[in-house]
Structure 1
């Protein structure tokens, strides 16, 4: 592929920044006080791609949205609620998910097959449809900043911050904007996890090409984060591309395909890291970089093993430079490693070199580990494989939050 011509991050932009998108969010009563119902709309039916949780137990809204993605292959709106996952709710839950799809379609005067549904919150509780119906009437999608903030707030559960990002690039001389909004804080072990991600773009691209790109990018981004190792029932990331930028149809053969791909990957990586940084009770983002693995997949596997280790996570929380926990997680990752070639660094300070411990300054490492972002580097000396994973520290607050989640 050719070199990237242009990729720029835009500050102050949001999910409605690409041409032709509007959004809204309101409080309807599914939660006590906070916003809990949201709608994302494209001016025209958009190409669509999505990835979903690999949990065998999947919430009712996923069935509805999968039909839109895989059968209709176009999407014009996403209807989202927080406060109730509508998972493990049987036939009633599925009926409610279809009713939500129908309610949004009727409001927008579009075909129900163009409406995806997403839910997040407590598992096993029947959806309260009366507040949902009231909330639909209140939703007024717009393309202004306030509306996009309302949407971003309405999809949150235990999150402490909104998660938004936007990039712009050029294709065929046209400005292509890619924006994303996500939620996720706990039950994060994507393949996918309790996270919802919504990405909008005005690029002109067919659904099959968009799906290929998203699936590849997910492995390096959303599937490279972990908070607590739990894979939820509701997770999805959905991309809508409405083509209003006016570029020639993008395919992997397009000479500027790399520009669009890079923008989509940048949005996904930003959202993934934001979720890891906002892990329930977290105080630090942990980034693990692995180089010298047999291949990229092995590198990502090792990185995920290290960042997902409860002992590594608690050591980072306690500012304890216990590299033994890191090398142990490398060893049990299931990847091929040679212990005599492993080098480990924390924040640039070498702890282990070619399998041998290196003297280090405890004071220097405490200073490094007190930072809000901590980087662990592992070199294996076996090949060209390279990969990243992101997570967070494990704190007292995580236990407190999840010990009283339903209350």
Structure 2
């Protein structure tokens, strides 16, 4: 498995992408299209919010009912959520217009939207925009796609890896958006992963599900869960490897590569939290099991008090141990050890002398790591988030204005 920085969502064989400005947003790109040459096996994971946007419902039906997708149309600037029968009709119109343009069946076209909830979609610019989309298999098209799906993101989020399966080069690439309302399972994030691997939809779904909890569901920005969010994986088989199943001798290679792509995207989202200045990684060791470890890690990284302490470069480990205590996991309150970076600040739940000056220097770094050791079992888990800043309040106080 090798990471390849110059590859992108259109790099796996048979994929094309593009994006443009159609008029949902004032100036920035707001409509994107991802296409496979042939129908692809598809897998997806979706928000757990019981209020779900019309585009998500359309796409979910394709993933769970047909298991094949050849294209997905995406808009930013309007979530098309809580828009009733009109919203569903608009999502289906986006699906049909895209299918007609590509000359394929509507049930091969997914739909995704992101933006403000509760506003009716302006359909004329969307329909006109769909007609003007010209997907290409070059870097330019992938960049346009990544830009067009952004909302409050400050950077595009792309990653790609290649590996070898059955002697064939297999590539997996991903693109995502997400900056606020990030509290999976899932959150205000859209993720699209392409691969030319040959794999059936049921096994692709199993692979995606096996890594979701330790990647996309292990990030948090602000504890809110949105209505639109999904991760979609399309596998078109053009690498021509033998069909992948859990019994394939190189199944683990595929899953590890898919995991690497997913983890990169998840960490990029956490790092680009609205107004964020730092990525926070929390590692928990010695929990009763991995599920408990991830639960504790996510509670710590999601604590507003921990997040503000990191923003203020304050080595206030009391906020960390308090979050461990209210996580709901089973712990021994007398055996907790905590490190900030490489500095031990708590040993067996008792304070350890440390240099405040050294930790201030460490906490000024763009990436901060907190390690919690529980001394209870073999459970091990991670979670990622960001600091909580003045800018987060400013961005969200004026989101609609």
TM-score (norm 2): 1.00
TM-superposed deviation, 1:280: 0.1
Deviations along 1:298-326, one digit per CA (max 9) or x if unpaired, are: 00000000000000000000000000000
Q: Equivalences for 1:128-139 in 2 at 5 Å?
A: 128-139=122-133
Tell me the equivalent position of 2:20.
26
Q: Name the CA distance, whole Å, in 2 between partners of 1:300 and 1:10.
A: 29
Q: What number of residue pairs does the alignment pair up?
A: 401
Tell me the equivalent position of 1:259.
253
Equivalent residue in structure 2 for 1:47, among 41, 47, 59: 41
Q: Name the CA distance, whole Å, in 1 between partners of 2:205 and 2:236.
A: 14
1:393 and 2:387 aligned: yes
Equivalent residue in structure 2 for 1:357, among 331, 338, 351: 351
TM-score (norm 1): 0.98
TM-superposed deviation, 1:355: 1.0
Q: Structure 1 stretches of 5 or more lacking a match?
A: 1-6
Tell me the equivalent position of 1:3.
none
1:149 and 2:143 aligned: yes
RMSD: 0.4
Deviations along 1:365-386, one digit per CA (max 9) or x if unpaired, are: 0011000000000000111100
Q: Name the CA distance, whole Å, in 2 between partners of 1:75 and 1:166.
A: 21
Q: Name the CA distance, whole Å, in 1 between partners of 2:321 and 2:200.
A: 44
SS, match of residue 130 in structure 1: helix
Tell me the equivalent position of 2:340.
346
Q: Name the CA distance, whole Å, in 1 between partners of 2:249 and 2:279.
A: 36
Q: Name the CA distance, whole Å, in 2 between partners of 1:266 and 1:297.
A: 20
Q: Name the CA distance, whole Å, in 2 between partners of 1:301 and 1:170.
A: 34
Q: Name the CA distance, whole Å, in 1 between partners of 2:219 and 2:100.
A: 37
Tell me the equivalent position of 1:4.
none
Deviations along 1:77-126, one digit per CA (max 9) or x if unpaired, are: 01000000000000000000000000100010000000000000000000
Tell me the equivalent position of 2:30.
36
Tell me the equivalent position of 2:292.
298
Tell me the equivalent position of 2:7.
13
SS, match of residue 141 in structure 2: helix
1:229 and 2:204 aligned: no
TM-superposed deviation, 1:335: 0.4
Q: Structure 2 stretches of 5 or more lacking a match?
A: none
Runs of 4+ in 1 over 3 A off after TM superposition: none
SS, match of residue 274 in structure 1: helix
TM-superposed deviation, 1:357: 0.6
